[in-house]
Amino acid sequence: MADNNGVVAVYGNGAGELSEPSKNLATLSGKVGLARMLRGGVIMEVATPEQARIAEEAGACAVMAVEHVPADIGAQGGVARMSDPALIRDIKRAVTIRVMAKARIGHFVEAQILQAIGVDYVDESEVLTPADDQHHINKHNFKAPFVCGCSNLGEALCRIGEGAAMIRTKGEAGTGNVVEAVRQVRAVMGAIRSLRTMDDDEVFAYAKKIAAPYDLVMQTKQLGRLPVVQFAAGGVATPADAALMMQLGCDGVFVDSGIFKSRDPVRRARAVVQAVTHHTDPKILADVSTGFEEAMEGINLKDSRTERHITPQGYI
């Protein structure tokens, strides 16, 4: 199913199908297909080429290049922006897996720069300081696939309507506290289950209620899932956290760069990858969770939460 603006092709077990051949639709379908190849994988935030190599050796399917931990910048009252292109190029040269990088919400020029230097995915990230508090990037204008965050179904479908090829939860990045990511995944999954029980006639009103494109709402109802891959992000700090998000229905997980602050980042990174791969096997999960000298300390959400409030239409 696709509308005249070129929304995503139907998600299925095989390749995406296009109802009407079109250059724009084929490009978007290809971007969705690229993101689908990451299913069942772990994406790790890295701040150096050395960390990127550790992530690749641990089995990560991709890395997210970050110059500074955005949560740290926000806590200090600074402005978090796109990473230095030189760092991103160094990370790309260091690994053979996919490399992602973050652009500020609405900052299409940062996205243009990231695409020009050859990143594999652009993350229009709410953890960076927003450049535009009313408008997101028109992702249909880019060849690079985009990743966007959501906290509910309406927000997810709005971002897909704008051209996002992958959706992730927002969680609370850098806190080591997975509660927000869990809440957001359950919100999306619960809304989809409710949508599945609706008559087709009810979908019109529901789409208006959640401020999402009707065609995408109907497509989600028919599929019983989002039309693109959905990853968990924000607060995933342990192998058990990663397995929890997979069992809740996510297609993969993002792991914060805080994992590299531990005494044994190599072992911890491998443990998270193993937990995602074997997320339904408690015995393996117990083995990979054993023997770490210390857990990530974590941050109380009451201490870390910002005054940011996000709706499907933007920031308020």
Query: What is the DSSP pairing of strand 310-311 with strand 314-315?
Result: antiparallel
CA distance 148 to 306: 19
d(CA 67, CA 36): 26
Residues annotated as part of the active site = 102
Q: What is the pLDDT of residue 302?
A: 54
pTM beyond 0.75: the answer is yes
Q: Tens digit of pLDDT per residue, the chain (316 long)?
A: 444 344 444 454 433 333 333 444 447 789 999 999 999 999 999 999 999 999 999 999 999 999 876 556 656 667 889 999 999 999 999 999 999 999 999 999 999 999 999 999 999 999 899 999 999 999 999 999 999 999 999 999 999 999 999 999 998 776 778 999 999 999 999 999 999 999 999 999 999 999 999 999 999 999 999 999 999 999 898 999 999 999 999 999 999 887 887 788 899 999 999 999 999 999 999 999 998 866 555 555 555 444 443 344 343 3
Distance between CA atoms of residues 49 and 177, nearest Å: 26
Among residues 259, 201, 268, 217, the alpha carbon closest in space to that of 235 is found at: 259
Place of tokens 């054993």: 290
Q: How far is CA 95 from CA 54, 56, 64, 121, in A?
A: 10, 7, 12, 15
Query: Residue 278, exposed/middle/buried by CB under 10 A (0-12, 13-18, 19+)?
Result: middle
Query: What is the predicted pLDDT for the residue at 199?
Result: 96
The span from the CA of 71 to the CA of 293, in Å, is 25
Model pLDDT, residue 22: 44
Q: How far apart are CA 270 and CA 290, in angstroms?
A: 12
What is the C-alpha to C-alpha distance for residues 246 and 233, in angstroms, rounded to an integer?
A: 11
- Alpha helices (H) along the chain: 23-36, 49-58, 70-75, 85-94, 108-116, 153-161, 179-196, 200-209, 214-223, 239-247, 265-277, 282-288, 301-304
Return the structure tokens found at 246.
């997979």
> Is the separation of the CB atoms in 129 and 68 below 8 Å?
no
- 167 three-class SS: strand
> Which pLDDT score is estimated for 6?
40
166: enclosing H helix or E strand: strand 166-169
Q: What is the pLDDT of residue 73?
A: 60
- Residue pair 57/266 in contact (Cβ under 8 Å)? The answer is yes
Give the C-alpha distances (Å, rounded to integers) separating 44 from 53, 58, 145, 215: 11, 10, 18, 33
Q: In sequence order, which residues have a C-beta less than 8 Å from that of residue 114 and are 6 or more positions away?
A: 82, 85, 88, 101, 103, 122, 144
CA 179 to chain centre: 16
- How far apart CA 257 and CA 136 sit, in angstroms, is 25
Q: What residues contact residue 307 under an 8 Å CB cut-off, 6+ apart?
A: none
Using DSSP bridges, classify how beta strands 42-46 and 252-255 pair: parallel, antiparallel or unpaired: parallel
pLDDT recorded at residue 176:
75
